[in-house]
Structure 1
Amino acid sequence: MADQANLKIPLGISAGIHIGAIIILALGISFEDKPKPVPSAPSAPAIKAVVVDQQQIAQHVEKLKKQKQDAENKEKARQAELEKQANQARKAREQEQQRLKNLEIERKQKELETQKANEAAKAAKIKQQQEKELADKAEAARKQKEQEKLLAEQAAAKAAEKRKLEEAAAKKAEEERKQKAEAERKRKAEAEAKARQEQEMADALAAEQAALSQTRNRQVMSEVDRFTAMIRATIQRNLVVDESMRGKSCRVFIRLAQDGFVTSSQTLDGDQVVCRAAKAAINKAGRLPVSTEADVYNKLKEINLTVSPEFN
């Protein structure tokens, strides 16, 4: 039992040393004082030394732990600072990005506003131009209306003057018409009176002429009958007859000149023998009795006669 207890102490010291070495190596910390070698032969003085060294090691380990904790705390503080700085940098970067984004938005907004302003200016210019054109058109229309009004007034004045002249002319024409109508009425009255007188005279003359004409007609017809009988007698004198002609006749047409010369003759109908004899008698006579009076001659120049042979 005593041997086992003696073995546990060196083993514990060795294990502690190894653990401390491992911790030191893990922490990467070097110590200037190196531990003294442990005597290999166990003895009472060695055990004491090991206990002392173990206390020193424990102290040293605590120191190392404290240094490690301090280092960890510093590292945590440094990491916290770095994280803080990173957060600040991230925030700054985000703020810068937001600022740039805001600037881009403002730039786009300004561009949009500038575009809108340009478009508004362009639209205002177009509107101004349109308003100017409308104003010019309105002014031109106003001037046109004024010109038309002036021309209308001038035309109305001319029309009024023309109407006055026309009314005066119409009045004068009416007076002249009345005068002409009165003169025409008087002329017609005079003409009607004259016409009545002339008609009365004409009627009287016509009545007289009718009476004379009837008397003359009777005289003409008497002369026509007389000369017709003379012409028939002349034809009878030149007519060669025989018994075959007895009771027979021929109707002939004779055209005479003013001196009684037979210009043409034509048998119309009747006995052929009588007709030949009548035509021969007419040609033989050559000239037949006619009146020198024109009205009697006009009734004798073309005559139709019936020739009937006469026997003694």
Structure 2
Amino acid sequence: MASQSDLKIPLAISAGVHIGAIVILALGVSFDDKPKPTPQAASAPAIQAVVVDQQRINDHVEKLKKQKQDAENKEKARQAELERQANEARKAREQEQQRIKNLEIQRKQKELETQKANEAAKAAKIKQQQEKERAQQAEKLRKQKEQERIAAEEAAKKAAEKRRQEEAAAKKAEEERKRKAEEERKRKQREAEKARQEQEMADALAAEQAALSQTRNKQVLSEVGRFTAMIRATIQRNLVVDENMRGKNCRVFIRLAPDGLVISSQTLEGDQVVCRAAKAAINKAGRLPVSNEPDVYNKLKEINLLVSPEFN
């Protein structure tokens, strides 16, 4: 747009210059040569008319020359003006071109600045996004740490409550243990006292029983000895002897029923002849003397006897 307006002014100036030159040429052709007189007959009025006409022509020529000179001066002035305008137009065009160049430089500078600004804005946006992400990450980390802190506090509270409960339970258990220990101590003390009393009673009873038992044992042993002698006498009565048995003997084992019935008999050691005779005598007797008293019978139900033949 600015370049087309700059071209219009020089074109107008050039067109004006050419038109002026054409006008000057036309004037120069029309008025430089004086008009030639037409041959006429010689007469005074004619000469006077010619002189008058010539004067007019001269005046007219001078006028034309003056007009021409004025026109040339005007043309020179116009040309000078046109030149001045052309110079001004050129200067204006150069200034405009410089302005356009400066504007282009400014435009490029602004584009560069805009580009830098866009890049800076983009970088700032990226930085802002990064800062936002870092802030979000930091907030997330803060919330996570806050949750961990809360969880730790809750865990600590639960642990403290559990420890308190355990301590209370331990204290209660210790009190229960002490109570049971005290009860156990008292029970053992009572049992010990009871045992002591029972032991004293048992000792007294044992002493009494020992005294009685000793008396009874003497009685039992006396009865056992008496019944043993009776059993031996019964076997001797049924024993068939001869002179070959003199000085010899046999040990026999006898098992008796409560009524004295011989359950079994067995020779253990001794002279074979005496052992056969002793076993035959026992079988012949079939029933041996025993006591009806249990403690005496218990000592007689299984008896070892040494059978020795007796001679008159």
Tell me the TM-score normalised to structure 1 length: 0.53
Distance in 2 (alpha carbons) for counterparts of 1:254 and 1:197? 46
**Aligned partner letter, 1:205:** L
- Displacement of 1:287 in angstroms is 1.0
Q: Give the gaps of 5 or more residues in structure 2.
A: 1-118
Tell me the TM-score normalised to structure 2 length: 0.53
Distance in 2 (alpha carbons) for counterparts of 1:296 and 1:133? 112
Distance in 1 (alpha carbons) for counterparts of 2:193 and 2:260? 50
Spell out, residue by residue over 1:223-279, the C-alpha distance to the aligned partner (whole angstroms, 9 max, x if none): 111111111111011111112212221111111122211111111122211111111
- Is 1:245 aligned to 2:239, yes or no? no
**Aligned partner letter, 1:255:** R
Q: Which residue of 1 aligns with 2:263?
A: 263
Q: Which residue of 1 aligns with 2:67?
A: none
Root-mean-square deviation over aligned CA pairs: 3.1
**Aligned partner letter, 1:274:** V
Q: Which residue of 2 aligns with 1:157?
A: 157
- Displacement of 1:153 in angstroms is 0.8
Distance in 2 (alpha carbons) for counterparts of 1:241 and 1:224? 26
Q: Aligned in 2, Cα 1:134/1:296: closer, same or farther, shift over 3 Å? A: farther
Q: Which residue of 1 aligns with 2:188?
A: 188
Q: Which residue of 1 aligns with 2:42?
A: none
Q: Which residue of 2 aligns with 1:49?
A: none
Q: Which residue of 2 aligns with 1:103?
A: none
Matches within 5 A, 1:92-171: 140-171=140-171
- Displacement of 1:204 in angstroms is 0.6
Distance in 2 (alpha carbons) for counterparts of 1:291 and 1:276? 27
**Aligned partner letter, 1:157:** K
Q: Aligned in 2, Cα 1:280/1:133: closer, same or farther, shift over 3 Å? A: farther
- Displacement of 1:140 in angstroms is 5.0
Distance in 2 (alpha carbons) for counterparts of 1:130 and 1:260? 120
Q: Which residue of 2 aligns with 1:201?
A: 201
Distance in 1 (alpha carbons) for counterparts of 2:203 and 2:132? 96
- SS of 2:299's equivalent in the other structure is helix
Q: Aligned in 2, Cα 1:243/1:135: closer, same or farther, shift over 3 Å? A: farther
- Is 1:274 aligned to 2:279, yes or no? no
**Aligned partner letter, 1:279:** K
Distance in 1 (alpha carbons) for counterparts of 2:194 and 2:295? 34
Q: Give the gaps of 5 or more residues in structure 1.
A: 1-116
Distance in 2 (alpha carbons) for counterparts of 1:199 and 1:221? 29
